[in-house]
Amino acid sequence: MENNLVIKDENLVEEFFGKKFKLRFVEEDTGKAALTHFVSSVGSEDRSYFEDRAIMYYKSLLEEQDVSHMAWSDSFEAIQYSLFDHKENIPFPEKENPKFKFIDLFAGIGGFRLALQELGGKCVFTSEWDDQAKKTYFANFGDIPFGDITKEETKSFIPDGFDVLCAGFPCQAFSIAGRRGGFEDTRGTLFFDVAEIIKRKRPKAFFLENVKGLRNHDKGRTLATILNVLRQDLGYFVPDPEIINARDFGVPQNRERIFIVGFRKDLGIDQFDYPEPIEEIVAFEDVKEENPVSVKYYLSTQYLKTLEDHRNRHLSKGNGFGFEIIPDDGVANAVVCGGMGRERNLVYDDRLEDFTPITHIKGEVNRRGIRKMTPREWARLQGYPDEFLIPVADASAYKQFGNSVAVPAIRATAEQILKKLGCF
């Protein structure tokens, strides 16, 4: 059967009964997320969480196309064929006979999902507010994430009975001055929404990820508040968080992140060991594009001079500056989005023919062969396989991989969690 679901420009185009429905990725509209989750959960008890909204949404599509006379029972079969056919062609389909269930909060482009799905898990709910990230997630996993997790409507779609909650939650500053730093003190922060879901759903375990700076934020009081909520208010066994470097798990990137895991106390788990670093040593040359890359990634002579002048001014004042050229046998700095993020990891690449004067939109290309890393190289630095689709423009791709988790480090830690839960 021909694939009836494709990504096209900024829209999701669905085709049922020979008619196309153009669906914009609008955060407030949960219908399309409910529809894909509903089809994904056919045969599962989780299906009921999405059914009403999925039916309502699809009926509205039928009315727009003047085929509303068709019964839902008839039209659902067409939905199944279309969406199931799409899922058969996505790069990362779910494994049959899953060993456990998990939810994917603040999902981004699916780094947690990629890792836990490889370990045999089934994702029963996902949320992400960024429209461009939703496109990448859908292209690779076949599910459209729900939107704003701070909304009660979004939370209402989360099924009961999942085993692991995953969340690379953003850290917003919150004050605990003069207070005990408990559950109520986290209101207004995104962590509160994670804690609220844990409180309601009582998963067997959770796996949280954040920037290394969380450990020392507000002189350590922010992390202390988070741990107090998880341990005292929610009643989970939470070992001391660990700073994990992606470099220690097979990718050539110095990326340190804090991992926080926890287990429901009634499981009797009172000890946990984070994964040991692997012995494999990797360098940028191991992820470098095999073929010459487009001229658009090379810096213009003028821009390169601007960067060097700017760096020299900062160095003369004793300040650091993000501009750096990573040798092929070196290790990249942490990829980040925004600001000078792409200039922190420049590379030498002399594969443009003789470097005769070549121009692009930003002027003449520098003759030294200095270029930015490509989105695919950033993907590899984060441990994403080359089968992972990048259906968005470069600017969005850099942002998405810069915000993502390093998949191998997530996978290694998740494996330790699942061993404790008896999933292996």
Catalytic residues: 171
Cα angle, residue 252 at apex, residues 250 and 255 outer, rounded to 5°: 95
SS3 readout for the chain: CCCCEEEECCEEEEEECCEEEEEECCCCCCHHHHHHHHHHCCCCHHHHHHHHHHHHHHHHHHHHCCCCCCCHHHHHHHHHHHHHHHHHHCCCCCCCCCCEEEEEECCCCCHHHHHHHHCCEEEEEEECCCHHHHHHHHHHHCCCCECCCCCHHHHCCCCCCCCEEEECCCCCCCCCCCCCCCHHHHCCCHHHHHHHHHHHHCCCEEEEEEEHHHHCHHHHHHHHHHHHHHHHHCCEECCCCEEEEHHHHCCCEECEEEEEEEEEHHHCCCCCCCCCCCCCCCCHHHCCCCCCCCHHHECEHHHHHHHHHHHHHHHHCCCCCCCCECCCCCCEECCCCCCCHHHCCEEECCCCHHHCCCEECCEEECCCCEEECCHHHHHHHCCCCCCCCCCCCHHHHHHHHHHCCCHHHHHHHHHHHHHHCCCC
Residue 259 in contact with residue 413, Cβ under 8 Å? yes
Distance CA 283, CA 50 (A): 45
As a whole number of angstroms, the distance between CA 304 and CA 368 comes to: 10
